[in-house]
Each structure stands twice: as structure tokens, then as C-alpha cells.
Amino acid sequence: MDDVWGDNDEEAEDGGKEAMEQGGIGGDQLSFAREGRKLYNDGYRIGKSLEEEKEMQRGFDVGFERGMYLGRASGKLFAGIRHALIQSKERQASEAAATADVAGDTRERDEREAQQTLQLKQLEALLMEAIPDHGGIMSDAVLAQIQEVCSSFAMPSANKAFVEYVHDVST
């Protein structure tokens, strides 16, 4: 009769283990706890990733806007100086044609143009590096480097363009 009613202690223990393994009463509690932990961990991961996405998007939006302003200001400065150089070259060419340019003047003009081209490339490199490397915050050291290059053109329009650039960058 012990077989029918399961009063045997050994069989009762084995039956309890089987019930737990098969999702019986004891197994339900373990299964419930396991599922609770899994849901908690899943919820934590989902919540964390959603918050990280929000923060990344906020950071991107702020950085993009600041980068856009810096890029526009840098392009305006570069274009202003480049335009002034082109006008200067055109003016010098017309003056040279009017005064019957001699070989020495041509060589001097070519050297000056080569120097200005090098300075323009240096300015472009500085401006391109300033935007991503400084995350939208222009340091005094970078501004000083840009001002030095602008001053090296020895043209009032280059200095004026730099002043406008500083204004654009600081607003």
C-alpha cells in the first residue's frame, strides 16, 4: 500500500525532486524566481540601453549644432582669405601688365604666391583640426595659431576675416 499512497519517505523525496524538475509545486517556485530574475535583468538592460540612446542622441544633437556653427565660421574665414588672395593676385597681375613686368618682379611674385598658398594650406589644416579635436570649444591656443596664420598674409582683409571668425565662433 505504501506504493499506492506514496508514504514511503525515499519515494517521497524522489517524487519531490521529480516534481521540482518537472515544474511541480517546488519547481514552480524555483521557476518563478528564475523568471523573475530574468525579467528583472532584461528590464534593466533594456532601460539602460534606452537611456544610453537618449544620452547619445542628446550629445550628438548638441555636438552637431556646435560643429555646424564652427564649420560655417571656418568656411567663411577660409573663403574670405582665399577671396582676398585671389583679388590681390588679380590686382598685382594687372599692375604688372601695366608696368611691363621684368623677370625679377615675376620671380618675386611667384615666391610670394607660393608662400601664400602654403599659408592657406596651413590655415585650412588648422581649421579642419580645430572642429573635431576640440569638440566645439575653441581654446585660446588654437585661436592664437589661427590668428598667427591670418596675420602672416599681411592683408587687412585677412585680419578682418579673423575678427569675424572669432565673433562667429564665440556666439
Residue ranges for the chain with pLDDT beneath 50: 1-13, 15-16, 23, 134
> What is the model's pLDDT at position 1?
44
Residue 50, domain member (yes or no): no
Q: How many domains does the chain have?
A: 2
Residues 155 and 95 in one domain: yes
Residues 28 and 69 in one domain: no
> What is the model's pLDDT at position 5?
45
> What is the model's pLDDT at position 131?
63
> What is the model's pLDDT at position 70?
79
Residue 31, domain member (yes or no): yes
Residues 12 and 39 in one domain: yes
Concatenated DSSP letters of 62-128: HHHHHHHHHHHHHHHHHHHHHHHHHHHHHHHHHHHHHTT--HHHHHHHHHHHHHHHHHHHHHHHHHH
Residues 156 and 76 in one domain: yes
Neighbours of 32 (CB within 10 A): 10
> What is the model's pLDDT at position 90?
78
> What is the model's pLDDT at position 6?
46
Cell numbers standing for residue 104: 625679377
Residues 94 and 165 in one domain: yes
φ/ψ (deg, to 5) at 5:
-90, -10
Query: Which residue segment(s) compose the domain that 78 sits in?
Result: 61-170
Residues 30 and 111 in one domain: no
> What is the model's pLDDT at position 65?
80
Residue 154, domain member (yes or no): yes
Residues 159 and 107 in one domain: yes
> What is the model's pLDDT at position 127?
80
Residues 36 and 85 in one domain: no
